[in-house]
Amino acid sequence: MEVLDKQQIQSLQEKLLRLQTELKEHLDISKQAAGVVTLDQTAVGRVSRMDAMQQQSMAKSTREKASNKLKKVRAALQAIADKDYGYCRKCDELIAFKRLQAQPEAQLCIHCQDTVDRQQ
């Protein structure tokens, strides 16, 4: 059975740790930013209020994406610790190293991801 070698896993682990830090920082900063936006009707006009609401909802969806990604990054780091990293959650095949390099938090191989994407 094909496996990732130690060096490959180590380089992916470093990427994951970096991602984890970046995502945490992003979530911290955007939390502060989200708190600053006020929708005071007297202070701003209708257009800028809509602007602010749009920005707030965009910030919220970016935050949700970041927090989902952070969950996957943590799961991947846990999988490395459990020596269960790099396998597709669906078909149990080894995920291609190139794919993991681009997306170290990936939980599905490219084929299964394709199927999922098409179903959505």
Q: Which of 39, 91, 102, 116 binds Zn ion (CB under 5 A)?
A: 91
Interface segment toward Zn ion; rule CB under 5 A; list 5-13, 48-56, 58-66, 101-109: 101-109
CA nearest neighbour of 16 among 80, 98, 94: 80
Q: Is 90 in the site for Zn ion (CB under 5 A)?
A: yes
CA distance 74 to 71: 5
Q: Is 95 in the site for Zn ion (CB under 5 A)?
A: no
> At which residue do the structure tokens 């490959």 appear?
8
Q: Is 109 in the site for Zn ion (CB under 5 A)?
A: yes
Closest distance to Zn ion from the beta carbon of 113 (Å):
8
Closest distance to Zn ion from the beta carbon of 116 (Å):
10
The torsion angle over the Cα atoms of residues 109, 114, 115 and 120, rounded to 10 degrees, is 120
C-alpha dist (Å) from residue 94 to 3, 70, 72, 101, 110 = 7, 22, 17, 13, 10
Site string for Zn ion, 69-88 (x = CB under 5 A): -------------------x
Contact positions vs Zn ion (CB under 5 A): 88, 90-91, 109, 112
